[in-house]
Structure formats: structure tokens, C-alpha cells
Structure 1
Amino acid sequence: EPHDLEDGQVIYIVMPSHVLRTTYNSKNGETCLSVGNGFAQLDEENAKLQLQAIGKTFGNMITDIQVIDATKDKPRGQKGKQAKAEQTVVSEKTAEVIAETKKPTIVITEQTNVTVSEDPLVPNTNDPTLDPEYQKNLDTLLQRVSESKTPDEVNAV
């Protein structure tokens, strides 16, 4: 299980429009993919910071972040065979993704004529370094990284 997660442990999944508070379930394909792709955090504050960072990548300042508690507001599932059929499809897709990630990777042994380009993805119209909230968040993240003792702790930041 990734990052020593245990079934039933509370995690926060970063979504484009909100943060989802849920419990980790190793049999839930969507949750496992969110964790595996780096869109899950162990605490609410880090999840909010990650969503803000994603917004800044696209030139947006996300300030009002809604945390939806999926552990309390579980949507009512469909009854009978249809819900079981959907669960089987998710499990099969998860197995395909896991099999795909275990394939051998291509290793580049020689590379020539490499150039570096640092063009911004978004026009730099607002300088985020002038924003005091940005500086505060940056300082907090840098402090957390410097206090981390293992690579997993650094990656969690």
C-alpha cells in the first residue's frame, strides 16, 4: 500500500473545485489512483495548499476552498446488480493500470543536441512574489521541507 496507508485512514483528495475528505480503501480504484498520482494528502492544510499551488500554475488565485466530507455525506448507492457491475469495471480498470505501471521502462543511454526552454505556460501578468499570502505559504512549505527527515516526508509536503 502506498505511503504506509491503512484501510480506514482519513485522507484528503485534491479535486479541481474542492478537497474531498474520505477514508482510504485499498479496494477503491479511484482512491488508489488519486493516491498513486499524487492527488491525496494526509492532512487538510496540505491538501488546500496543493490545490492553491495547482491554481497558481494556471494563473488563478484559489482562496475559498471547500472541504467536502465524504465520510459523512456518502451518496446513496444504486441497488442490486448494476452497482456490483460498476464495481467490477472499476476493479478491472485498476488491475489494468497496475499492470501497465509494472511494465519495464525505456532507459535513455545517450542523448545529444538538448536545448532548454523556460517559456512560461501562462503569461506572467501578476507577480505572485508580491503577494504576502504567497510568500507566507512559500515560507511554510520551505520550512516543512527543511524539517523533513525522509524522502517520503518531503514528498508529502
Structure 2
Amino acid sequence: MTPKQSQRLIKKIADIKLVLATEKRTFGGYDDSRGLRYLPTRYYLQLADYKGGLAYTRWFAKSFPDDIGFPDFLFEWAVLLFKGGKLAEAKTKVWQTFCANTYVLDTFLGKPVQPLPKQEWSNLAQVGFTEYFTYSHQQADLLDFSP
């Protein structure tokens, strides 16, 4: 990643934090119907800033205690925990990821997704989840997270 790309990601994170802080200050709470709060984990992983990502997830857990998150967000959170050396918490977050969408881990591990006869969050397996979820066990920065 070039320095310019890194700066763009850092700016995106700062902009999201600013929008969320403004909402909190203006409304006394968060009105994040756009889901901006789920984006920084992806950017922290791209930057390989695991310490910053863990700080963000701590803030997220404190600010949105009843938010169950999206499967990809939970997966990114698990990776941040793993990379930060918090293995027990990473295992818990991987389990939460699996519970949120059973196809995430198969997709990550490169196994064929076999749709099950069930109703799952937005039926991502049928609507192109493999294109939506971009993480793979073959990515150089995720080799240590793979079995």
C-alpha cells in the first residue's frame, strides 16, 4: 500500500469518527442508519493497524452495546482480536460470526458454499455473498489467521 493510499484510509476513518461524534453531540445519541460505524474495521485491517482497530472496537462495544453487527464486521473484529493477541476473545467473535452467517467461514476458507434450507440474514449465500465478502485464507496478511 502506498503512503497516499494509507493517508486516504486514515482520512476515511477520521471522517467517520467525526460524523459519529457530530451525531452524538447534536442528537444526544447515534443516528447511523447508513451504517458508517461498521466501516472502520475494514480500513484498520487494510492499514494493518491492529492496535487502532482494537481501540475502535472497544469504543464500538461501549457505544453500541446492543448492536449485533453484520457478519463481515464480526469477522473483521475477530481478525483484529487475533492479530492483537487476544485469542480467547477472537474465538468468541469467530463463533458470533458463524452464528450471524454460517457461510462466512466457508467462504473465507475457500470451501464451496452449500446453501442450506433456512432463512438467514438477508440470504447472502443466494445473493452473491462470495462477491460481497472479500477475505480469503490465501491473503498474505491473513495466513496466520487461517487453520
**By percentage of residues, which structure has more helix?**
2
TM-score range, shorter chain: under 0.3
**TM-score scaled by structure 1?**
0.23
**TM-score scaled by structure 2?**
0.24
Could you say which structure has the larger radius of gyration? 1
